[in-house]
Amino acid sequence: MLFAFSPDYESQTMKRNLYPLITALGLSLLLPAVAQDAGKPTAQLLSDAYTGKAYSPYAKRNFPERPLWGDSHLHTSLSMDAGLFGNRLSPTEAYRFARGEEVVSSTGQAVRLGRPLDWLVIADHSDGMGMVGDIASGKPALLAYEQARRWNQGMAEGGDAAVAAALDLIGTFSQGKMDPEMFAMYSPGAKIYKNLWEKVIADAETFNEPGRFTALIGFEWTSLVKGANMHRVVIMRDGPTRARQVVPYTTQAPVGSPNPRDLWKYLARYEEKTQGEILAIAHNGNLSNGIMFPLEAQWEGTKLDDTYVTERIKWEPLYEMTQIKGDGEAHSFLSPDDEFGL
């Protein structure tokens, strides 16, 4: 989860007005103790901030005072992993939940946040987006393929069979062994994929309400190199007009690539084509076997150069420190008992 600060949230009217603010990741760790002050001045504060007599505890403050809470990395039933492990809720329910409404969870229980979020990025995996839900529901066009039939049967049986089907599907994808004809149905260039992306954009626009709640359009680029995690969450600053000019970038050839240099080219093309703004956030480097942050060369042997360094800092100014898979800065030397501290 990221968070941001704005001194004048209500006055902001731009459609995706929180985008530049998410760069405040970790800011709370840097704020002085007086940032938590509710208004009572201290001798130290006054002596440092004023040269004469002071009577207003809020004068001369130079730190933001209103935290804006959000989530930059949320999956719905459109993602293979979330869908496989029981998430049956769509982006619509996710936005409703984030805005403070009561929803019925995938387990059938009524749930509601104690405090609504101020912003949200639904970042479903771009590879195979929407495929798992159609497999689970038994879409005839998918069941024509042996892989889909096998996974559908396991999901229908439930229990250990469903877990086995989920692990098999994830392993098949990570090893690049998906039936290419089947997977093409849920890849850029296919009508199903285009229509689904347009629905993702439309849902974000429906729930985006400047001054109250910001729905940022995004996706997750799911690069896996021999099982090593190289994932990035991609976030667009812009609204539907620009987002509809592209489709998410994937990792599967011939359209996509697992190489982050190619992802950065996609980001550059997006800004050139739409005149919009976009960024990527790397995460779970603890599961990358060291290739998320190479020191001399990329995993495929390409030496690091000035272009790599300047492009990475331009397109990836943030790093996601914590996710359900553990802290991204973890290492087995520091966390010997953490199975995710690799």
Residue 334 has pLDDT above 80, yes or no: no
Instruction: Please tell me whether residues 113 and 256 are part of one structural domain.
Output: yes
Q: How sure is the predictor about 10, in pLDDT bands with cuts at 50, 70 and 90?
A: very low
Instruction: Please tell me whether residues 169 and 274 are part of one structural domain.
Output: no
> Which of 252 and 121 is assigned the larger pLDDT?
121
Q: Is residue 333 part of a domain?
A: no
Mean per-residue pLDDT, 95-114: 96
Cα separation, 329 vs 342, in Å, equals 10
Out of 144, 168, 183, a domain closes at: 183
- Token pair, residue 101, equals 């409404």
Q: Is 43 exposed, middle or buried (0-12, 13-18, 19+ CB in 10 A)?
A: exposed
Instruction: Please tell me whether residues 174 and 288 are part of one structural domain.
Output: no
Instruction: Please tell me whether residues 289 and 308 are part of one structural domain.
Output: yes
Quick check: 33 and 44 in contact, CB under 8 A?
A: no
**Backbone phi, then psi, for 125, in 5-degree steps?**
-60, 130
Q: Which of 35, 32, 61, 28 is nearest to 46 (CA)?
A: 61
What distances in angstroms separate CA 13 from CA 82, 211, 214, 255, one per listed residue?
33, 6, 11, 36
pTM of the model: 0.81
Instruction: Please tell me whether residues 77 and 225 are part of one structural domain.
Output: yes
Residue 90 has pLDDT above 70, yes or no: yes
- Token pair, residue 113, equals 């946040």
Instruction: Please tell me whether residues 303 and 199 are part of one structural domain.
Output: yes
Which three-class secondary structure state does DSSP give residue 213? strand
pLDDT at 81: 86
Instruction: Please tell me whether residues 244 and 282 are part of one structural domain.
Output: yes
Out of 67, 94, 116, a domain closes at: 67
Task: Supply the DSSP symbol for 292.
Answer: S
Q: What is the pLDDT of residues 127-178, one digit of tens each?
A: 999 999 999 999 999 999 999 999 999 999 988 999 999 999 988 988 889 9
Q: Per the structure, how many domains does the chain have?
A: 3
Quick check: 132 and 83 in contact, CB under 8 A?
A: yes
Q: How sure is the predictor about 122, in pLDDT bands with cuts at 50, 70 and 90?
A: very high
Instruction: Please tell me whether residues 13 and 63 are part of one structural domain.
Output: yes
CA torsion through residues 285, 290, 295, 298, sign = negative
Cα separation, 201 vs 190, in Å, equals 17
Q: Is residue 336 part of a domain?
A: no
Mean per-residue pLDDT, 55-84: 86
Instruction: Please tell me whether residues 243 and 98 are part of one structural domain.
Output: yes
Q: How sure is the predictor about 6, in pLDDT bands with cuts at 50, 70 and 90?
A: very low
Q: What is the pLDDT of residues 228-248, one digit of tens each?
A: 999 999 999 999 999 999 999
Out of 121, 149, 183, a domain closes at: 183
Q: Is residue 145 part of a domain?
A: yes
Q: How sure is the predictor about 41, in pLDDT bands with cuts at 50, 70 and 90?
A: low
The residue type of 4 is A
Q: Is residue 340 part of a domain?
A: no
Domain that holds residue 37: 3-67
Quick check: 318 and 278 in contact, CB under 8 A?
A: no
Instruction: Please tell me whether residues 176 and 295 are part of one structural domain.
Output: no
Q: Is residue 88 part of a domain?
A: yes
- Please report, for the domain that includes residue 224, its CATH number: 3.20.20
Contacts of 77 (CB under 8 A, 6+ apart): 83, 87, 88, 89, 90, 132, 133
Q: Lowest-pLDDT range, 91-95, 105-109, 281-285, 336-340?
A: 336-340
Instruction: Please tell me whether residues 196 and 317 are part of one structural domain.
Output: yes
